[in-house]
Amino acid sequence: MKKIKRKIALYLSKLTSKKVDEIYLSISKPKGGQADLCSTISFLLAKERKTQPAQIAKELEAQLKGKIKELDIKAEGPYLNFYFNKNFFTSLLKKGWKFSKKKKTIMVEYPSVNPNKPWHVGHLRNALLGDSIANLYSFYGFNVLKLDYIDDLGLQIAQSFWGFKNLAADFKAYKNKFDHFVGIQYVQVAKKFQEKEVEEQVRQILKQMEQGIQPTSSQVKEFVYKVLKEQYKTAYNFNIFHNLIVFESDIISSIFKDGVEKIKSSSILKFQPTGQNANCWVIDLSSEKDFANLTQPQKVVIRSDGTATYIAKDIAFQLWKFGLLEDKFFYKEFDCQPNKEIVFMTCSSGKKMKFPAAAIVVNVIGTEQTYLQKIIRFCLSEMGYKKQAKNYIHLSYEHVTLADKKFSGREGSWIAQNGQLGYSADELLDECIKVALSNIKKELSIEKREEVAKAVAINAIKFWFLKTSPNQKIIFDFSRALSLNGDSGPYLLYSFVRAKNILKKAELKPKLFSDYEFNNFEKEFLAQAAFFEEILEHCIKNFEIHPLCSYSLELAEKFNRFYDNCPVLQSDTKTMQMRLYIVDFYCKLIESIFNIIGFVVVEEM
């Protein structure tokens, strides 16, 4: 689409006083669908020519007639409208989409769930958003590193480990996954933490964790690994995969010291000899307009006792991502994932590996972290890393809510109560599979029905979560999400299955004819397909997925209109082969979108 719009702009530039870029911006797809493309250049020229826009449009139509072989041109009122013709559609079907390999590496961090609970549906939104953004950039040719950060040194971990060691509970008698067991137990621990004796014991565990004292340090690590393995089973069920897991404990033991020294050596830290932050090193945000009206504009980075706050740790981690700190991590394999790729993890002893430095860093973190993310970006900029600060992206999102209440691991609001469905990602998937299974045709084998039900359920959940702008809250609706009609994942999958069935039944191979006369239904579908690259580039530029979801629905709707009104296998030979070519083109295009969103593809429903 960019190429054809550029061609229009070049021709119009030769006929007018306007520059190519200015004309290019005047060209868009009209919302009403009156034309395939429309230019408002007549309005730009009206003042300088002292002529009505409608008259200018007529003059330009006459001058452009026959100049651009892919377009039919018509002045309609003050607008210059363009209609794709058979030359355009034939070229589109022949070309397809290929994106050149980019030299840049983009690092996407998600979902970074504390390893003391299962993923609830809020964590799932984070994971689906991060994974789809990573897939988007990979499809576009970037080198992508999918990263998961795990806080294995926090108070929550110490509390959960204490509960695992001290509360009377038998996991063998518990039928669910270990992360669920730990998460439910954590709710009990959070209540008992109010007791002075329990708090002292937990604080002692936390101290031993931070100082690496054995055997506690190793035992906690094994506990964390066990929970994380279960969380990753959830990820795998949703076809979510990673390249690298980074533990906070390894940040502290390897790159943290160098990071703090780099921060100290920059000009962003100011020493406070007196006052509330006496003998601390702080970042003073009081003069920055982005941090206006803060009650505490001075953020402590180095405490009076010389220890660093979490801000210093976060800055050090981001410096490492951009390749601004020497990589002192050791690595080893964490797991071989179902996609046959190894996910590595940092460790205290292992092998050295070289991961490419990121040109762009995307952190998928909830909106409540916006303030902290702004501080980190500000610090990078003030340290002299202007380019890195610009390419430091906080992809924020609203949480999935239940009765206007955020999910909390401490409160256990994700746990099933009074026989009702729980709000863990695992339970959501199980329930969707159950609903989907009841709607799948009985003539399929049991194994096939289960396979299709799982695919339908995964796709329903993914599409429901991803079709909504990240800045909007989500309430999951089972009936709408699983519907074969309307704005749902199963609707998209069904359109793909129908298309594949036509190709399976065809006895002739698809063939492209340059002299084929397209009818209106074929034109409508192909005109929609032509905008794929433009939508993709919009998503790349804005780190968004939901516009691609909206586009896929429009694409499927146009294809279904073609399917319902244009017989394929009952047509004459030439028409059949050409329509088979269109069907095959749709299958390849929609499957590319499925790969970005992370759909599970089946060819039977």
According to the 3-state scheme, what is the secondary structure of 431-498? HHHHHHHCCCCCCCCHHHHHHHHHHHHHHHHHHHHHCCCCCCCECCCHHHHCCCCCCCHHHHHHHHHH
Please, which pLDDT band fits residue 422 given cuts at 50, 70 and 90? low
**Residue 431 predicted with pLDDT over 90:** no
More confident of the two residues 418 and 514: 514
Q: What is the pLDDT of residue 173?
A: 53
CB 240 within 8 A of CB 127: yes
Which range scores top for mean pLDDT: 137-141, 260-264, 483-487? 137-141
CATH class of 2-84: alpha beta
Tokens of residue 552, six digits: 């896929």
Instruction: Report in angstroms the alpha-carbon separations of 41 from 32, 66, 77, 190, 282.
Output: 18, 19, 12, 65, 54
* Tens-digit pLDDT profile for residues 157-191: 999 999 999 986 665 655 578 999 999 888 888 88
d(CA 449, CA 436): 9
Contacts of 518 (CB under 8 A, 6+ apart): 86, 89, 526
Task: Kindly state the percentage of the chain with pLDDT values over 70.
Answer: 94
**Residue 438 predicted with pLDDT over 70:** yes
| Sign of the four-CA dihedral 270, 366, 246, 116 | positive
Q: What is the pLDDT of residue 175?
A: 58
More confident of the two residues 227 and 400: 227
More confident of the two residues 419 and 103: 103
d(CA 128, CA 225): 22
Contacts of 409 (CB under 8 A, 6+ apart): 114, 116, 117, 120, 156, 183, 186, 187
d(CA 186, CA 409): 8
Residue 81's DSSP bridge partners are: 38, 74
Contacts of 143 (CB under 8 A, 6+ apart): 102, 103, 104, 105, 106, 356
Q: What is the pLDDT of residue 411?
A: 54
What SS3 state is found at 32?
A: coil
d(CA 40, CA 38): 7
**Residue 489 predicted with pLDDT over 60:** yes
Residue 72's DSSP bridge partners are: 83
* Tens-digit pLDDT profile for residues 497-513: 999 999 999 989 999 99
Q: Could you give phi then psi for residue 312, rounded to 5 degrees?
A: -60, -40
Looking at the domain that runs over 105-402, which CATH code has it been given?
3.40.50.620
d(CA 154, CA 247): 11
**Residue 416 predicted with pLDDT over 60:** no
Average pLDDT score over residue span 417-446: 78
What SS3 state is found at 190?
A: helix
Q: 431-597 domain in CATH 1.10.730.10?
A: yes
Which range scores top for mean pLDDT: 2-6, 21-25, 255-259, 390-394? 390-394
**Residue 479 predicted with pLDDT over 60:** yes
Q: How far apart are the first and last CA of the chain?
A: 34
* Tens-digit pLDDT profile for residues 250-281: 999 999 999 988 998 888 888 889 888 899 98
What SS3 state is found at 394?
A: strand
Task: Kindly state the percentage of the chain with pLDDT values over 90.
Answer: 68
**Residue 476 predicted with pLDDT over 90:** no
Q: What is the pLDDT of residue 419?
A: 45
Cβ count near 289 (within 10 Å): 6
Q: What is the pLDDT of residue 302?
A: 85
Q: Could you give phi then psi for residue 292, rounded to 5 degrees?
A: -65, 150
Q: Could you give phi then psi for residue 303, rounded to 5 degrees?
A: -75, 170
Bin 229: left if φ > 0, else alpha if -120 < ψ < 50, else beta. alpha
DSSP letter assigned to residue 400: B
Work out the mean pLDDT of the chain and round it to a whole number.
Answer: 90
Q: What is the pLDDT of residue 492?
A: 95
Indicate the helix (H) or strand (E) that contains 81: strand 79-84
Average pLDDT score over residue span 215-219: 94
Please, which pLDDT band fits residue 406 given cuts at 50, 70 and 90? low
Average pLDDT score over residue span 401-418: 52
Q: Where in the chain is the domain with CATH 3.40.50.620?
A: 105-402
Please, which pLDDT band fits residue 603 given cuts at 50, 70 and 90? confident
Contacts of 281 (CB under 8 A, 6+ apart): 264, 269, 270, 271, 272, 300, 301, 302
Q: Strands 360-364 and 392-395: what pairing?
A: parallel
Which range scores top for mean pLDDT: 221-235, 277-291, 480-494? 221-235
**Residue 33 predicted with pLDDT over 80:** no
Average pLDDT score over residue span 4-31: 92
Q: What is the pLDDT of residue 174?
A: 58
Residue 394's DSSP bridge partners are: 363
* Tens-digit pLDDT profile for residues 319-365: 999 999 999 999 999 999 999 999 999 998 899 999 999 999 999 99
Q: What is the pLDDT of residue 170?
A: 63
**Residue 417 predicted with pLDDT over 70:** no
Q: Strands 360-364 and 401-402: what pairing?
A: unpaired
Q: What is the pLDDT of residue 171?
A: 58
